Amino acid sequence: MSKSIKKEPKGKYGLIIQNCVLKTRYKIKDWVPKNSKYDLPLALNSISAKNVSIKSTRCNTIYCGSVFNFLASTSLEMVIIKYNLSSTTGSINVNDYYIVNDLKVFFIKLNESIDLVKLNKLNLYLKSLKYPFLQKEKDKCHSVAKLISKNCLCGFRVNVKLSSKNKRLQCSLNLNLFLIEVNWKFGSKIELNFS
């Protein structure tokens, strides 16, 4: 698997939510997770002493960043915020706030349910491509990605990202299926303050 720990950037609202969760739940004010594959490494987590990944979504899909980083996650706590934006003010409204901190069995099952050989071959093929990409190259990447995660746990999908600046494999989960598979608890929506 890839050794890269490059973190994919979050969107505008994802960064606002991440900073709020770091400040309110973990009492971290100045942490900027640039060189860590986690939003908060276990050394800074005084609540559970686990690495923390903060996910935010307005739909039922959790985007998990680099597929290799995600599959190699260890001692992980996930904080998932499902939100929408106010149609009048554009402010963030939290619908649900989930905390999942027992993921060891989930990652074992997930790694066993995907074809790691095909995943690594796709990654090598992707890295060999040169921009501008031919349509047949794009089609091959997307069709192989579907084979890697066929009938996978929690709607796990490998997502191919191809652009002039990026060639990478990301992944996503179905939030509802994920919550059925893992033990979770509600976080306190009251503690989140986006002002």
**β-pairing verdict for 167-174 and 61-66:** antiparallel
Structure tokens, 117: 């050989």
User: 51, 73 in Cβ contact below 8 A?
Assistant: yes
**pLDDT tens digits for range 125-157:** 999 999 999 999 999 999 999 999 877 899 999
What are 76's strand-pairing partners? Answer: 51
3-state secondary structure of 102: coil
Sheet holding 51-57, edge to edge: 51-57, 76-85, 92-100, 185-186
Does 31 reside within a domain? Answer: yes
The number of domains in the chain is 1
**The predicted structure's pLDDT at residue 59:** 94
On whether residue 4 sits in a domain, the answer given is no
The verdict on residue 3 lying in a domain is no
The reported pLDDT for the residue numbered 36 is 80
pLDDT of residue 26: 92
- What is the rounded (10 degree) CA torsion for 119, 53, 43, 104? -60
**Angstrom distance (rounded) from CA 154 to CA 86:** 29
Three-state secondary-structure class, residue 67:
helix
| Amino acid identity, position 177 | L
- Domain boundaries, position 85: 12-191
Low-confidence ranges of the chain (pLDDT < 70): 1-9, 32-34, 195
| pLDDT of 123 | 97
Q: Is residue 174 part of a domain?
A: yes
